[in-house]
């Protein structure tokens, strides 16, 4: 083990999206970056010890714990998770979904069901012909790029829709850790990465080259929230109930663990 390894040999994965950069500050060279669905599989087959994954993954697997005080969340518009539609919402019969995030798909199902809308769901194989689709669920950096193109689609931001429905923030992703790997040193390393990332947020925004600086500042500095406090946990609790009711899956109450000294 190299003496400069912050993660001390633990295998950690994160998403390659812009919204995750404050949570991997200082540990980027040790982290495996992959889409949320791929990270979920690696965590499940034990090739990762911890991963920044969709909250749904942590709720569907009893063997995970969630690092307290850290999340990718929003308390209103999230800007990078939405349904894009060319037709009125009530006329939508098929939604083509980016399969990368299980949480976003389930959140959209919950939000549409609240309006009495129950479409079919089809995976989106790639982004080549997205502009031709009547209704799409998009997430992450490709979603941002889509909104910045000259699209005729109407955008329904799922963070804003959840806030309108419940009055609560929505937690999109968390650090899920296999319970057997919840070592205090790993928890502290991940917490320290967040502290460092938020303390140097302005320099991270300036250093990035994805999208324009004004958008990065509005997105990372305002739309995305990185805390997992009481309001966020209430949002998770409510989503847990709605997810279980709408999906029929066995959903496990989250188990939160704090880093030492947090």
Backbone torsions φ then ψ of 96, nearest 5 degrees: -90, 120
Sequence spans of domains, the chain: 12-73+169-257, 81-166
pLDDT of 2 strictly over 60 = no
Q: Tell me the pTM.
A: 0.94
Give the model's confidence band at 248: pLDDT under 50 very low, under 70 low, under 90 confident, else very high: confident
Return d(Cα 191, Cα 203) in angstroms, integer.
19
Q: What confidence score (pLDDT) does residue 104 get? A: 93
CATH number at 81-166: 3.40.190.10
Give the model's confidence band at 4: pLDDT under 50 very low, under 70 low, under 90 confident, else very high: low
Distances (CA, A) of 173 to 39, 66, 114, 120, 170: 12, 10, 23, 25, 9
Judge if 12-73+169-257 and 81-166 fold alike in CATH terms: yes
Backbone torsions φ then ψ of 261, nearest 5 degrees: 80, 0
Options 2.60.120.330, 3.40.50.800, 3.40.190.10, 3.40.640.10; CATH for 12-73+169-257 is 3.40.190.10
For residue range 129-187, list pLDDT tens digits in order.
888 899 999 999 999 999 998 678 999 999 999 999 999 999 999 999 999 999 999 99
């Amino acid at each position: 083990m190299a003496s400069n390894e912050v993660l001390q040999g633990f295998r950690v994965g994160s998403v390659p999206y812009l919204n995750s950069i404050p949570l991997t500050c200082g540990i980027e060279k040790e982290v495996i970056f992959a889409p949320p669905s791929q990270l979920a599989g690696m965590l499940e087959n034990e090739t990762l010890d911890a991963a920044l994954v969709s909250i749904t993954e942590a709720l569907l697997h009893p063997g995970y714990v969630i690092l307290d005080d850290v999340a990718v969340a929003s308390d209103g518009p999230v800007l990078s998770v939405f349904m894009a539609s060319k037709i009125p919402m009530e006329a939508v019969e098929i939604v083509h979904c980016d399969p990368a995030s299980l949480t976003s798909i389930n959140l959209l199902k919950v939000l549409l069901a609240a309006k009495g809308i129950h479409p079919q769901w089809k995976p989106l194989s790639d982004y080549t012909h997205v502009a031709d689709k009547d209704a799409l669920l998009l997430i992450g950096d490709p979603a941002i790029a889509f909104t910045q193109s000259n699209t005729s689609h109407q955008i329904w931001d799922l963070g804003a829709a959840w806030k309108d429905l419940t009055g609560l923030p929505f937690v999109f992703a968390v650090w899920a850790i296999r319970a057997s790997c919840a070592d205090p040193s790993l928890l502290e390393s991940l917490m320290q990465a967040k502290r460092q990332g938020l303390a140097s947020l302005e320099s991270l925004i300036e250093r990035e080259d994805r999208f324009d600086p004004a958008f990065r500042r509005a997105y990372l500095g305002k739309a995305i929230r990185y805390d997992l406090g009481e309001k966020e946990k209430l949002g998770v609790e409510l989503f847990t109930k709605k997810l279980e009711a709408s999906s029929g899956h066995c959903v496990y109450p989250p188990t939160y663990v704090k880093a030492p000294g947090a």
